[in-house]
Amino acid sequence: MLAVNKIDLVDFSQERFEAIRRDYEAFAASLGFRSIVAIPLSARFGDNVIAQSENMAWYDGPSLLGHLETVNVDDDLAGKPFRFPVQFVSRPHLNFRGFQGQVASGRVAVGDTVAVAKSGVTTRIKRIVTMAPDGTDLDLEEARDGQSVTFVLADEVDCSRGDMLVDPQAAPVIADRFDARLVWFAERALVAGRQYILRTETDQTAAAVAVLQNRIDISQLEEVKADTLALNDVGTVTIAAQRPIAFDPYRANRATGAFILIDRISNQTVAAGMITAQANGSAGQHRLFDVTQKDRAAIKHQKPAILWFTGLSGAGKSTIANTLERRLHGLGLHTYVLDGANTRQGLNRGLGFDAASRREEVQRIAHVAKLMADAGLVVMASFISPLREERQIARDIAGDNAFLEIFVDADLEDCMQRDPKGFYKLALEGELKHFTGVDEPYEAPDAADVHLRVKGRTPEELAAEIEAALKAKGLL
């Protein structure tokens, strides 16, 4: 809709109105609007606001409020593929399991086959239940877009809040990278690579703007190269999520193609976006292998876990991890320790100690640890990981795996005196830049899962404390 106000200032001129209408139609041609309804207005005198104006006999279209009350934003939701975001799983008793939410698009009837979007598992609609005016359950034969209903499925399938029931013949995209148009809301400028919370109609996960492709010059509708987006800027970006999500391009379905980004610290909504397509290089839908993590762990008679050791250089992280591994190995557990000594020779070769390198190191190690946990191992990752945000990234990447943040708490003076790798000496002499504790800060955990106070204690005592924590959490 195009509202052309203050038409009284040009004596209600049809010629001037038509010129403005033509300009805006040309301007909006590239935006994909199906149609534009242009309405000449004089808000000051009420012309064409509620009823048609007598001052513009040449105009025979709707009034502003008349159009807003009757406009159909999308008249084809029922004709789109079936999409049902699961908002709640209701289980009031053992004989009833219902999936509740609102049909986003399409229609479905009792007996129809549907699929769980992420797993692809199919089943049939057994019942469609809604609430009658008297508050009792009312069974329906069919549900369509806009209806809030409860679906009872014919089979016990793995489907939870955040997933979608969909048409198996027209499934949504499942991917962990996608291209999008983004409107930036925050005063703090967008930084590519910073972690945010991605929230869609159906799901929520950690994500980052992997690539800022261009900023859109609103005055000319041209894309220009940019390093960041400021308040109210619009840009084209590539989003990288920590795990695959289900979506449709926004042009195909606005309900499943829209998203917002939320700052993980302030909980402020910093951006809103429209998905345009799956990005190149996306992992896409994960293949479901026959042998699962549960199977791999069962044959080892253990529970997988990721133990993330954080603390200053020289605090004793790797020494304690090594001692703990020896103890767990003695109990018959399958384990592995990741630290700088065995990762900077290959996986992390070439990374420095600056903030970007630290962040990249944490993300690489967290992904490797997750794969090892999927293999059924107890993984110990020993890295300074100085920032809380970085450690939260590692926890997000770990996903459903048991994740324990272990804070190896040692005085900086003791660490500098110990200096087993000579890093502090190099940093103090100015030969090693961006080193934590010297010219970069260390943010101690607010609430670590295990807080080890090192001073006056042996590695065996500290490893025993971690072992006790693992037993208390049911991991041993």
Tell me the pLDDT tens digit for each residue of 147-168: 999 999 999 898 988 899 999 9
Q: Are residues 303 and 397 in the same domain?
A: yes
The amino acid at 167: D
Place of tokens 């309804």: 37
* Domains identified in the chain, total number: 4
- Residue 214 belongs to what domain range? 173-278
> For 21-45, what is the mean pLDDT?
82
Structure tokens at 402: 């048991």
Backbone torsions φ then ψ of 332, nearest 5 degrees: 90, 15
Q: Which residue, 35, 70, 105, sits at the end of a domain? A: 70
64: which DSSP letter?
H
Kindly indicate the confidence band of residue 264, based on its pLDDT and cuts at 50, 70 and 90.
confident
pLDDT of amino acid 243: 84
Query: Among 262, 463, 283, 472, which residue's Cα sits nearest to residue 370?
Result: 283
Contacting residues for 95 by C-beta, under 8 A, at least 6 apart? none
- Tell me which residues are annotated as active site: 385
* 365 found inside a domain: yes
Label the pairing between strands 378-382 and 305-310. Answer: parallel
Taking only the tens place, the pLDDT of each residue in 45-66 is 999 999 989 999 999 999 999 9
Kindly indicate the confidence band of residue 32, based on its pLDDT and cuts at 50, 70 and 90.
low
Q: Are residues 305 and 411 in the same domain?
A: yes
Q: How far apart are CA 399 and CA 306, in angstroms?
A: 11
Q: Are residues 340 and 430 in the same domain?
A: yes
Share of the chain above pLDDT 70, in %: 96
pLDDT of amino acid 284: 54
pLDDT of amino acid 317: 96
pLDDT of amino acid 74: 54
Structure tokens at 118: 């992420």
* 284 found inside a domain: no
* 316 found inside a domain: yes
Kindly indicate the confidence band of residue 219, based on its pLDDT and cuts at 50, 70 and 90.
confident
* 187 found inside a domain: yes
In this predicted structure, the answer to whether residue 27 has a pLDDT above a threshold of 90 is no
In contact, 324 and 354? CB cutoff 8 Å: no
Q: Which residue, 166, 188, 223, sits at the end of a domain? A: 166
Taking only the tens place, the pLDDT of each residue in 68-107 is 888 766 556 667 899 999 999 998 887 889 999 999 999 9
Q: Which residue, 166, 197, 232, sits at the end of a domain? A: 166
pLDDT of amino acid 7: 95
CA angle 184, 389, 180 (to 5 degrees): 30
In contact, 177 and 224? CB cutoff 8 Å: no
Phi-psi region of 410 (alpha: psi -120 to 50; beta: other; left: phi over 0): beta
Query: Among 244, 242, 299, 235, which residue's Cα sits nearest to residue 272?
Result: 235
Q: Are residues 196 and 332 in the same domain?
A: no
The amino acid at 186: A
> For 185-196, what is the mean pLDDT?
87
* 283 found inside a domain: no
Backbone torsions φ then ψ of 208, nearest 5 degrees: -140, 155
Q: Are residues 446 and 354 in the same domain?
A: yes
pLDDT of amino acid 454: 95
User: In sequence order, what are the beta bridge partners of 139?
Assistant: 129
Residue 44's CB: how many other CB atoms inside 10 A?
11
* 189 found inside a domain: yes
Q: Are residues 453 and 305 in the same domain?
A: yes
Structure tokens at 236: 């084209």
Q: Are residues 364 and 348 in the same domain?
A: yes
In this predicted structure, the answer to whether residue 31 has a pLDDT above a threshold of 70 is no
Q: Are residues 348 and 379 in the same domain?
A: yes
Q: Are residues 314 and 452 in the same domain?
A: yes
* 60 found inside a domain: yes
* 287 found inside a domain: no
Q: Assign residue 450 the CATH number of its domain.
A: 3.40.50.300
Label the pairing between strands 88-93 and 96-102. Answer: antiparallel
Q: Are residues 300 and 224 in the same domain?
A: no
Taking only the tens place, the pLDDT of each residue in 268-281 is 999 999 999 998 76
Q: Assign residue 108 the CATH number of its domain.
A: 2.40.30.10
Q: Are residues 193 and 261 in the same domain?
A: yes
- Catalogue the E-assigned strands of 38-78: 38-40
Q: How far apart are CA 296 and CA 294, in angstroms?
A: 6
Q: State the chain's mean pLDDT as an integer.
A: 90
Q: Are residues 373 and 441 in the same domain?
A: yes
